[in-house]
């Protein structure tokens, strides 16, 4: 594959993945959350409670910026701060029941939309897409 064709294919892939992510996000009710807030909610749902500093490191953000995000989520009742069990100087951020429910509702809406549009593909396209999923995941984990 010539370099410019390869480079264009890489650009096309990046744009397609970005477009799919934005479209999927639009299909949920996550519009009430910023992208950063959504990412923090997802991380807490997947990894459990964390300190603001740990969240900031995980997302490659400054702790002050993450603090602003956490405060916003706290005001919405989506997260709560609790004292760290072994280090009283630290606070753990965790999802509230409202946050858990919001995450569940948003995931279900995204999954429903994506399932519906994938169902419109023919069997060969579906098989190709699902094979590509493993490759994309492997790339993301590098």
List the pLDDT tens digit at each of the 142 positions of the chain. 566 799 999 999 999 999 998 888 888 765 678 888 988 999 999 999 999 999 999 999 999 999 999 999 999 999 999 998 888 788 999 999 999 999 999 889 989 999 999 999 999 999 999 999 999 999 988 8
Distance CA 97, CA 113 (A): 24
6 & 26 share domain: yes
The secondary element (H helix, E strand) that includes residue 126 is: helix 123-140
Which CATH number does the domain housing residue 69 bear?
1.10.10.10
22 & 75 share domain: no
pTM of the shown model: 0.76
76 touches 41 (CB < 8 A): no
The tally of domains found in the chain comes to 2
86 & 119 share domain: no
47 & 74 share domain: yes
* pLDDT score of 2: 60
Q: Report CA-CA distances (Å) from 107 to 4, 46, 98, 135.
A: 37, 12, 14, 22
Distance CA 28, CA 118 (A): 17
52 & 78 share domain: yes
* pLDDT score of 67: 94
Distance CA 36, CA 59 (A): 9
Domain of 13 in residue numbering reads as 1-32+97-142
* pLDDT score of 50: 95
Q: How many CB atoms lie within 10 A of CB 30?
A: 22
Q: How many helices (H) and strands (E) does the chain have?
A: 6, 2
90 & 78 share domain: yes
Residue that is written with structure tokens 């429910």 in the block: 101
Q: Which of 92, 87, 88 is nearest to 55 (CA)?
A: 92
């Amino acid at each position: 594959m010539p370099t410019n064709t390869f480079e264009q294919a890489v650009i096309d892939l990046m744009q397609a993945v970005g477009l799919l992510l934005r479209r999927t996000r639009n299909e949920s009710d996550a519009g009430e959350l910023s992208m950063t807030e959504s990412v923090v909610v997802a991380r807490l749902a997947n990894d459990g409670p964390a300190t603001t500093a740990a969240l900031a490191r995980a997302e490659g953000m400054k702790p002050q910026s993450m603090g602003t995000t956490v405060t916003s989520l706290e005001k919405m009742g989506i997260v709560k701060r609790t004292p760290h069990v072994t280090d009283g100087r630290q606070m753990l951020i965790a999802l509230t029941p409202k946050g858990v429910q919001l995450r569940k509702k948003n995931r279900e809406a995204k999954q429903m939309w994506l399932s519906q549009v994938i169902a419109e593909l023919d069997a060969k396209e579906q098989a190709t897409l699902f094979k590509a999923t493993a490759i994309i995941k492997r790339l993301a984990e590098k």
